[in-house]
A = this chain, B = another copy of it.
Amino acid sequence: MRVTVLGAGYMGSAMAKVAASRGHDVTLWGTWLDDAMLDPVARGGVHPKLGLPLSELRVLRADALAEALEGAELVVHGVSSEGAVPVMTKARAHLPDVPIVSVTKGFLELTGTKKMDRVDVAVAEAVGRPVRWVHASGPAKAKEIARGVLTWMCFAGADAEVCRGALGGDHVFVSTTDDLAGAMICSAMKNAYATGLGIWDGLLGADCHNARAACFQQSIVEMERLVALGGGRRETAFGPAGVGDLHVTAAAGRNRAFGEGVGKGKPAKQVAAEMAAAGELTEGYPAIATARRWADERGAGALPLLDALHAIVWGGAEPRATLAALRLG
């Protein structure tokens, strides 16, 4: 099968390696922001983020988008949420009518309604026609996938089965669901909630497992409500897109580190700036605002944990008092 991967960052490159290991003919296309990733690869070195060579792949640069998409039977969308609309707008004239497996998470503002919506909805608007979007949800850190660590992904969408057939196998276990809406909403929400689990570490030190578990549970309760609000099925929040991905996001990484800094009493803006200076993106910071806005635009009402996180991170509320006033359930 001819597979084209758009985006040569962490996840795009990892999924390209998975596709190649299944025997497909894989092209990895880098955006205009991916040159730093591809220069060492072109010299026969390793991908700077993954730390692995990509010699089994055909690698193309930003100006070769049409060439990259020509004859593709499956597209993997590994562009960041910020890049999704610009890239897919450029791709529209060359995009074949094939399934698009996407690892992109978040909400975007639609050009037409100016409302926040799922990435697949924003991409369809940009492309000007429906797209055969399959969302690759679930707990899947790119470096671990590339290293061969057992990984559970849940592919969501009408074409999920064919995509599982193409990409699942060996250490990558793929389950499927037709609940694209539910899986997309869980994925968009999990960075926001993972931040909250880090705040407890900063506030109370390491011995606050009860509070972290209570917030983990509350996150799932609120995700379940948001999934239903967005037209998804509640049980999707209990599966890999919800429980599983929140587990991996909260266990380690930048959202937790961001939350921990805030829990220690630093203003969120300062923590984010310090992390940015060290080259670390903190997706949870903007995700809390976009999640709340998405929910507001749909009349979600109170979401105790998300509201508390929003008050702390965007409203400057004092973490200890705000979380002490949190009402669970």
Contacts and interface: CB of A to CB of B under 8 A. Distances in A.
Contacts of A173: 214, 327-329
B238 A326 contact: no
Among A239, A327, A328, chain B packs the most CB atoms within 10 A around the CB of A328
B244 A216 contact: yes
A140 to B, nearest CB: 6
A214 B144 contact: no
A11 to B, nearest CB: 12
A141 interface: yes
A141 B175 CA distance: 34
A39 B192 CA distance: 48
B212 A247 contact: yes
A210 B140 contact: yes
Given A173-B329, A207-B144, A209-B248, A151 B240 contact: no
A245 B208 contact: no
Contact of A214 (B150, B208, B212): B150
B210 A150 contact: yes
A84 interface: no
Interface string A142-163: 0111010111100000000000
A145 B214 CA distance: 12
Given A175-B329, A217-B152, A220-B238, A210 B144 contact: yes
B149 A217 contact: no
A210 B139 contact: yes
A213 B149 contact: no
A139 B209 contact: yes
Contact of A213 (B210, B212, B248): B248
B152 A247 contact: no
Given A217-B243, A220-B243, A247-B217, A209 B152 contact: no
A149 B205 CA distance: 11
A213 B328 contact: no
Contacts of A218: 152
Contacts of A147: 207
Given A152-B217, A217-B247, A238-B243, 7 more contacts: A139-B209, A140-B210, A141-B209, A149-B208, A209-B251, A220-B243, A243-B243
